Amino acid sequence: MSENIKNWLLFILTVAVVILLSYLANSIINRKAESQFAYTPQIEIGAHEPRNVVWGKNFPRQYESFMRTRDTSFATYLNGSKLRDALGEDPRLVVLWAGYGFSKDYNQPRGHAYAIEDIHNTLRTGGPTGPGTGPMPSTCWTCKSPDVPRTMAEKGIGEFYKGKWADKGSEVVNPIGCADCHNPETMSLQISRPALVEAYENMGKDIKDATHQEMRSLVCAQCHVEYYFDKNIAGQEGVPYLTFPWKYGTTVEDMEKYYDQMEFADWTHPLSKAPMLKAQHPGYELFTTGVHSQRGVSCADCHMPYQSEGGQKFTDHHIRSPLDNVANSCQVCHREESGALINDVFQRQKKIKQTQLSLEELLIRAHIEAQKAWQLGATEAQMKSILMDIRHAQWRWDYSVASHGGTFHSPVEASRIVSTATEIAQEARVKLARLLGQLGFSGEVAYPDISTKAKAQAFIGLDMDKLNDEKETFLKDLVPVWKKEAAEREAQMPIRPVSSRE
């Protein structure tokens, strides 16, 4: 072969190699560009987007299942998704919480999608007529909406907690949803409320060290926990700053010690004059003492199990009682009949309920016997230890009932708490019997007729007609104003399609 031809061949070969390499580079770039569009959502979700429906455009399955929390057709032994009047089912609660908001109105919680509606409707938030009015502080909004982290980020945390509940009525309008638990860019779980981060710091822990599986419970623990409003936070004096009493730990005794040490009381009971503690809903704390938690199960594993739809596996955002969905929750691990599993749950709850109910009667008797002692001229010194016993006993009782699923999440711990509370309540009544004897009274202090909610509320002197009227006016006059202002504000918030990205 002549030298000339050889050189030409070499030239053509090199050209071919370079062309192929360029093609390869081109193909790689093409396919990388494709991946920007494959599996890419339609809407750009802003940093503090509070509207669940906007997130729903990108995540229709999660959103639609979340919207099913509006379903109210399922009832369990204790809760479920129905609107249930807890005071009507157990009027004793009215007397136990006399002097405190919960004696006015207390319903079993409905689904997350009702968060705003239900806090508007409850008599506990009263009937404000405009900014600066009404019984509750702004802090009461904290767990109700993804508008909360948005407002906090815009105005500051202390500024959010400051003022009356009615002051933020037009800011907080979207029910609990996406932005409460998710990072808008990556969709990974994230904490949106300061109190949990601060509580971890107070325990000497860093929440950033949490694992993904722990986060599947911790996002719930932002709200489903015991808390109080601390008005003595340095730099935030006078502001009802939402705080978890976890400094010494999360057991009922740890928190009792914490409150006793700071001499904190939620309210003074009008009958016994005891400095009371209201347990909120220590659901997470009780859950962590139970066997499911100890085996590494998270809240989401049972309350938001994976589900499959059209071949796509995703997390069911219809957050609800697992007993409404035994197949995807319990039966993933437990190979028993659905009916048997539900029965297991109810059996535990019923047995503990029995002891809780008799404890309630003991507590009411202690309150009215203390009232009798005051009437007969008992002194502060004589009453002091009795009132502390009543405080502790009712706190522990409340801790065991207020954690809605607690008697299943951790039945042994729940019944331990009830038995320590029963012992303390009996101790208070022994002391009261002695004191009443000293004061010259030897009979039984008559147990009031509190067989219905109405009778119990009349017994503690609540003017229900007035409360109902105020609420009606509020719902008719103020709520529509809030909604209108919110709609105008949200109309200014753009919804940007991803295709408009520059």
Which residues are at the interface with another protein (CB under 8 A)? Answer: 14, 17-18, 21-22, 24-25, 27-29, 31-32, 34-35, 38-41, 58-61, 149, 152-153, 156-157, 183, 185-194, 197-198, 201-202, 207-213, 215, 218, 230, 233-236, 241, 243, 247, 306, 308, 310-315
- In this complex, which beta carbon is closest to another protein, that of residue 143 or of residue 421? 143
* Least CB distance to another protein at residue 496 (A): 15
SS3 state of residue 22: helix
**How many CB atoms neighbour CB 275 within 10 A?**
18
User: Of the two residues 47 and 412, which places its CB atom closer to another protein in the complex?
Assistant: 47
Distance in angstroms (rounded) separating the CA atoms of residues 167 and 188: 32
Residue 288 C-beta: closest distance to another protein, Å? 18
Backbone torsions φ then ψ of 333, nearest 5 degrees: -110, -35
Looking at residue 444, the DSSP 8-state letter turns out to be: P
Least Å distance, CB 205 to another protein, is 12
Task: Count other Cβ atoms within 10 Å, centred on residue 239.
Answer: 22
Question: Minimum CB separation from another protein for residue 92, in Å?
Answer: 34
Q: How far is the CB of 100 from another protein (least distance, A)?
A: 24
Q: Which residues pair with 275 in a beta bridge?
A: 268
What Å distances lie between residue 238 and 162, 232, 500, CA to CA? 8, 6, 46
On the CB side of 83, CA atoms within 13 Å amount to 10
Joined together, the tokens standing for residue 287 give: 């859950």
- SS3 state of residue 454: helix
Least distance from C-beta 183 to another protein, angstroms? 7
The DSSP letter of residue 130 is S
> 282 with 253: CB under 8 angstroms?
no
Residue with token string 């007969």: 376
Distance (Å, whole) CA 328 – CA 418: 32
Phi, psi of 109 (to 5 degrees): -70, 140
Record the tokens describing residue 391, joined without a space.
């405080």
Exposed (0-12), middle (13-18) or buried (19+): which is 8, by Cβ within 10 Å? Answer: exposed
In angstroms, what is the minimal distance from the CB of 118 to another protein?
26
Nearer to another protein, 59 or 106 (CB): 59
Burial of 159 (C-beta count, 10 Å sphere; 0-12/13-18/19+): middle
DSSP state of 314: E
Of 132 and 156, CB closest to another protein = 156
Determine contact, residues 220/284, Cβ cutoff 8 Å. Answer: yes
Q: Nearest-5° angle of CA 203, CA 207, CA 212? A: 140
Residue with smaller CB distance to another protein, 247 or 416? 247
Which own/partner contact pairs does 462-468 have at CB distance under 8 Å and 24+ positions apart? 462/94, 462/103, 462/104, 464/104, 467/104, 467/105, 467/123, 467/126, 467/127, 468/123
CB of 8 to another protein, least distance (A): 16
Q: Which is nearer to another protein, 213 or 379 (CB)?
A: 213
Our CB check for another protein shows the closer of 248 and 374 to be 248
Q: Which is nearer to another protein, 197 or 464 (CB)?
A: 197
Residues in the chain: 502
Q: Which is nearer to another protein, 32 or 380 (CB)?
A: 32
**Residue with smaller CB distance to another protein, 198 or 413:** 198
Least gap, CB of 150 to another protein (angstroms): 10
Nearer to another protein, 21 or 475 (CB): 21
Q: How far is CA 393 from CA 29, 86, 279, 461, in A?
A: 69, 21, 12, 24
Q: Hey, what amino acid is at 238?
A: G
**40 or 343, CB closer to another protein?**
40
Shortest CB 241 distance to another protein, Å: 7
Q: How far is the CB of 28 from another protein (least distance, A)?
A: 5
Owner of token pair 């040490």 = 261
From the list 15, 17, 60, the residue with the least C-alpha distance to 41 is 60
To another protein, the closest distance from the beta carbon of 29 in angstroms equals: 6
